[in-house]
Amino acid sequence: METNLQQSEYTDSASQEATTTEAQPYKEAQELKVDVSVDQPGALTLKTPPAPSTDQVWQEWVQPVTEFLSKLPDYVGGFFSSYQQPLITLALLFSGVITVKVTLAVLDAINDIPLLSPMFEIVGIGYTAWFVYRYLLKVETRKELSGQFQSLKGEVIGPDSKS
């Protein structure tokens, strides 16, 4: 701006202003660049600069996730085939624990009913008395119980067991 003022000191100020106002549109036109692409002959459209795509950012995150999810059935199948026996054992233990807990919860709920608890105790005492009278009082019945126990043990474990 000072250079323009210095020049105006030596030249006619009216002619200087006319030249500077005419030069400004040319400078602005040179600074603005417009890319034009021709899609069809005879048709001109402005070519806009590519906007920063947010799709690329998402694709960087989505691609590894989709690759992992596509390989997940293979991973799970390999895991189950490798550890089939321990998994079955754990599942049986887990189901056994759940069965015991549910059974105890049901018995506790039944035991909370006022008349059923004493009745169950009487039935338990009666069954124990019958078992002692039937199998444990006489020698012959103890041998019979021992024989039944050995036959059941042979069916479960096998006849070759020595213990």
108 and 121: one domain? Answer: no
The pLDDT tens digits for 102-157 are 999 999 999 899 998 899 999 999 999 999 999 999 999 999 999 999 999 999 99
* CA-CA-CA-CA dihedral for 113, 115, 118, 121, to nearest 10: -70
Q: What is the rounded CA–CA span in Å between residue 82 and residue 90?
A: 14
CA dihedral over 110, 111, 114, 118, signed as positive or negative: positive
Residue 24 domain-assigned? no
**pTM for the structure as a whole:** 0.41
Domain that holds residue 82: 56-112
85 and 98: one domain? Answer: yes
Pairing between strand 45-47 and 35-37? Answer: antiparallel
Per-residue confidence (pLDDT) for residue 117, from 0 to 100: 87
In this structure, of 22-26, 48-52, 64-68, 84-88, the range with the lowest mean pLDDT score is: 22-26
128 and 97: one domain? Answer: no
77 and 95: one domain? Answer: yes
Residue 37 domain-assigned? no
Q: 37: phi > 0 → left, psi -120 to 50 → alpha, else beta; which?
A: beta
- Say whether pLDDT at 62 is over 70: yes
Number of domains composing the chain: 2
Among residues 35, 53, 57, the alpha carbon closest in space to that of 44 is found at 35
